[in-house]
Amino acid sequence: MNTQIRTYSELITIPNFIDRFRYLKLNNKVGEETFGFDRYLNQHFYRLKEWKDIRNYVITRDNGCDLGIEDREIPNGIPIIVHHINPISLKDIANKLDWILDPEFLICTIKRTHDAIHYGDESLLYDEPIERSPNDTCLWR
Q: Which candidate, 48, 86, 80, places its Cα nearest to that of 62? A: 80
d(CA 125, CA 93): 29
Output the pTM of the full model.
Answer: 0.81
pLDDT at 141 over 60: no
Q: Which residue has the higher pLDDT, 70 or 41?
A: 70
| pLDDT at residue number 126 | 76
Domain boundaries defined on the chain? 45-125
pLDDT of residue 1: 43
pLDDT value of position 86? 93
pLDDT digits (tens, 9 = 90+) for 4-61: 899 999 999 999 999 999 999 987 654 444 555 565 667 888 899 999 999 999 999 9
In this prediction, residue 140 carries a pLDDT of 64
Residue 130 has pLDDT above 60, yes or no: no
Burial of 84 (0-12, 13-18, 19+ CB in 10 A): middle
Of 108, 92, 91, the closest CA to residue 100 belongs to 92
Q: What's the chain's length in residues?
A: 141
Backbone phi and psi for residue 6, each to the nearest 5 degrees, phi listed first: -100, 150
Residue 34 identity = T
Give residue-wise pLDDT tens across range 77-113: 999 999 999 988 888 888 888 999 999 999 999 999 9
